[in-house]
Chains A and B, each alone.
Chain A
Amino acid sequence: MYTASDLRKGLKIQIDGEPYIVTEFDFSKPGKGQALYRTKMRNMITGVQFTQTYRSNDKFDRPNLEERTMQFLYAQDNEYHFMDTSSFEQIFLTREQLGDNLSFLIDNMEVQVLFFGDRPIDITIPTFVNLEVTVADPWAKGDTSGSDTKPVTVQTGFTLQVPPFVEVGDRIQIDTRTGSYITRVKE
C-alpha cells in the first residue's frame, strides 16, 4: 500500500482496479491546517487524466505492473505483434496503445513491454535508435547560401531536421525522447 505522503510525480498507483501514473503533484499545507496532496493523474490504460486532492490518511494499492523485454515481430492491420525473447510467448498491442512510439519502431527492435497483470498496456523503446534515411534532398556541396539543416524522412515515415550532408541510404541516430538527430552512423 502507498499512503498520500508517498505521492510524487511518476508514482504509479491503482485506483478502482486500474493503474494510474501521477503526472503533476503539489503538496499544500495552510498554516495550522491539514496536509493536502493535490495530484493530477493519467489512467495508464485509457489515457484519461483527472485531478484529485488527497489527505494524509488516504491509501492506494500498488498496481501489479511488470516490464518484459520483447522483440517486435510484425504489424498486421491494427495489431503490432511482439515476442518475449526468453519464453517465446507472443502478444500484440494496438496502434492507439503504441502512439508516438510508432515513429521509431522497426522490425526486430527490442523494447520493454509494460504489463498490468497479464495485459500488455504500453511499451518503452530504446532512448537512441538507428534508422535509415529514405527521403532526402541531395547535398549540394559548396552551397553556402542554404540553411544549417534540411528535412529528411526515415524508414518509419518519421520526418526530422538533419545537417545538409545526410543523404538517402545513410543511417542516423535519433534521440527518441525528443525526436532529434544525434549523428550519422557508420556501419
Chain B
Amino acid sequence: MLDVHGLQQRSALLQAVRSFFRERGCLEVDTPIRLPVLLPEVNILPFASDGWFLQPSPELCMKRLLARGCTDIFQICHCFRREERGRLHQPEFTMLEWYRTGWDYTDLMQECEELVNVLAAAVPDLPGVPPGPAIRRGGCLVDLAPPWERLTVAEAFRRYAGVEARDTLAAGDFDEVLVTLVEPHLGCERPVFLSDYPVELGSLARKSAADPGVAERFELYIAGIEIANGFSELVDPAEQRHRFSGEITAIRARGDTAAMPERFLADLERLEPTAGIALGLDRLCMLLLGRATLSDALPFSCEEL
C-alpha cells in the first residue's frame, strides 16, 4: 500500500510513460479487458467472468488494432492472472504494453533502455534511484547507463548453471534452473536482456532466422527481477495456429477449456513485421520507489482489499 507521497510519485511515473510514448508518435489505446476468447498459453491461468475472461494480457486486442492499420501503439492497463501471488506477483497488476511496426526485438531492447532512463530521471528524489543514473535494491547498485548487457539464454545457462538450456528443457526443469541458479545473477551491476529463448517458450514469437531452435524473444532483468518480456512478433497465421494447437492440447489435458482465437488469426494475416513488449509497471515502480515488495508499490494489494 502506498502513502500519499508514494501515490504522487507513482502518478508522476505514469504521466512520464505517457509523455515518453506520445513524444515518439505512439498512439495510446484502451482495449476491452473482458474477452470471450484468449490467446491460449498453458502457463497462464485466466479468471472467468460470466462466461468470458478477464484479460491476462492486452496482446490479443492490441495486435488486432495493428491489423487494422495502427502502427505504433501503447497501453497501460490492468491484467489478471489466477494463482499468482507472492513478493513479486499479484493476481491483478498493471501492464505497460507497446508495439512498434517494422521493428524487431533488438530495436525494442534499445527503446527499453531509453524508457527506463527517462523514468528514473523524470521524478525527483525517487527513493530507489541514487544519482548515477542507477537503481539501488538490496545489495545491488544497478548502473542504468546504456548499453545494457545482452546475454542469450544458452550463454546464461552455461555461465551460471553449467548446463545446456536445451537439456534442462528436455528434462523438464528449465524453469527451476532459471529461477534458482540463473535469475539471481541477472542485472545486478547493470540491467540485462536475456534473449533467444527456446522456441517452445515463445508461442507468439518469431523463430530466429539464424537459429530455428530459438525464438526472437527477450526478458529484461534488473536486480534479479524480471521486468519486461518482448519479442519479434510471429505474424504467420498458419505457424501461429499450429503453435496454439499445442497450447490448447496442454490446457485441455489440465482439464480447462480453451478455444482457437479465430478472429485474431484472421487479423494476423494483415500484420506487418512488428515487435511488441509487455512491461510490468508495478515492478518497475517498486524498483524506482525503492519498495521491497510489489504490494508496497500499489494503491492496494489484493491482501488489503
User: Which residue numbers of A lie inside 8 Å of B, CB to CB?
Assistant: 5, 25-36, 38, 53, 56
Contact = CB atoms under 8 A, between A and B. Distances in A.
A28 B84 contact: no
Given A28-B86, A30-B178, A33-B175, 17 more contacts: A5-B83, A26-B86, A27-B87, A30-B175, A30-B183, A31-B229, A32-B201, A32-B203, A32-B229, A33-B43, A33-B178, A33-B179, A34-B43, A34-B175, A36-B176, A38-B179, A53-B176
B226 A32 contact: no
Contacts of A36: 175-176, 179
A25 B86 CA distance: 9
B180 interface: yes
Contacts of B175: 30, 33-34, 36
A5, A28, A32 pick with most chain B CB within 10 angstroms: A32
Contacts of B89: 27, 29
24 contacts: A5-B83, A27-B85, A27-B87, A27-B88, A29-B43, A30-B178, A30-B183, A30-B219, A30-B226, A31-B219, A31-B226, A32-B197, A32-B202, A32-B229, A33-B175, A33-B178, A33-B201, A35-B43, A35-B83, A36-B175, A36-B176, A38-B179, A53-B176, A56-B83
B41 interface: yes
Interface of B: 41, 43, 83-89, 174-176, 178-180, 183, 197, 201-203, 219, 226, 229
A27 B43 contact: no
Contacts of A25: 86
Q: Would you call the interface of chain B mostly helix, strand, loop, or mixed?
A: mixed
Contact of B84 (A29, A32, A38, A53): A29
A34 to B, nearest CB: 5
Contacts of A33: 43, 174-175, 178-179, 201
A33 B175 CA distance: 6
B44 to A, nearest CB: 8
Contacts of B43: 29, 32-35
A28 B85 CA distance: 9
Contacts of B201: 32-33
A56 B41 CA distance: 15
Nearest to B280: A31
Nearest to B200: A32
Contacts of B179: 28, 30, 33, 36, 38
Contact of B180 (A27, A31, A53, A56): A53
B84 A35 contact: yes
Contacts of A5: 83
A27 B202 contact: no
A27 B86 contact: yes
A32 B203 CA distance: 9
A35 B203 CA distance: 18
A7 to B, nearest CB: 10
Contacts of A56: 83
B51 to A, nearest CB: 24
A34 B179 CA distance: 10
